[in-house]
Amino acid sequence: MKKILYTAFLFLATSGSIMAQPDSELFPDFTFDDLNGETQNLYSYLDDGKIVIIDIFTTWCPNCVSSLPGVEDIWQTYGPNGDASVMILSFERDVSTSNELDFIADHDITNPVIIGAEDLIADTWNIPYQPNFFVVCPDRTWSLRVGGIGSNSSTLTNMFANCESATSVEEISDEYLALPVNTVIETSFQIDAFAEKVAYTIVGMNGQVVDKGVLNSGVNTIDFSAFQTGMYVIQLVNDTKLQSFKVIKK
């Protein structure tokens, strides 16, 4: 579920109205090349089970600069040099600026920086000013932090709790199912059912049912080879019990 965390002094935009956000519960996909020439696609990171922080800044914004230590702390702890659970993508939103490369060098920014997305930021994300931070979960739900974070990285990392792990099965283990630990799959998925006739339904992230059937007692293999890459919800029903968990098709 999307959540919005406001700082008091940023309740009012320069126009005098409260800022809007994306009008969907699921954050829209995007693909851009960063300033190093690397292609950055949001859903590819989410499908890998990563949380994505979208940092919206301008090079002339003092609160953006003061937030750099907190962002860098997250990058070093959770980015590629840390546990690799988070990707940070920084977007410069002012079309009139041209000093992004100097800004990156002056402040030792090491996460990907993207320019040229001003229309997306304004028209789709509905962001008229900065700094702002979207935290997008692997299931594509999102939260928004309005305002700077300074050196306090926990301002954003505390928002990670809004994300349900796409590979966690703790919440759905039960007496009649033995579930695999790894729910990131390529071609198939196995469930060991201890009870007869456990019904299953597979739902895509667009809400459409892509497969359904019945599990028999013993090991059952569910074929994902014909499915598109992305995240799916498997719903299991036995008598009056309903359980669900997520898998990622790579």
pLDDT of residue 65: 97
All domains of the chain in start order, with CATH: 3-162 (3.40.30.10), 170-249 (2.60.40.1930)
> What band does 207 get if pLDDT is binned at 50, 70 and 90?
low
The pLDDT tens digits for 119-143 are: 999 989 988 889 999 999 988 888 9
Q: Is the pLDDT of residue 52 over 50?
A: yes
Contacts of 137 (CB under 8 A, 6+ apart): 46, 51, 162, 163, 164
Mean pLDDT across 20-38: 85
Report the percentage of the chain scoring pLDDT > 90. 42
Mean pLDDT across 194-220: 76
Q: For residue 240, what are the CA distances in angstroms to 178, 199, 219, 243? A: 19, 11, 22, 10
Higher pLDDT, 175 or 41: 41
Share of the chain residues as helix, strand and coil, in percent rounded to the nearest 5:
20, 35, 45
Higher pLDDT, 210 or 119: 119
| Alpha carbons within 13 A on the beta-carbon side of 82 | 14
Q: Is the pLDDT of residue 173 over 50?
A: no
Q: Is the pLDDT of residue 16 over 50?
A: no
pLDDT of residue 166: 38
pLDDT of residue 183: 62
Pair type for strands 113-114 and 86-92: parallel
pTM, to two decimals: 0.63
Confirm if 183 and 246 have CB atoms less than 8 A apart: yes
For the chain, what is the mean pLDDT?
80
CA distance 130 to 103: 16
Confirm if 203 and 237 have CB atoms less than 8 A apart: no
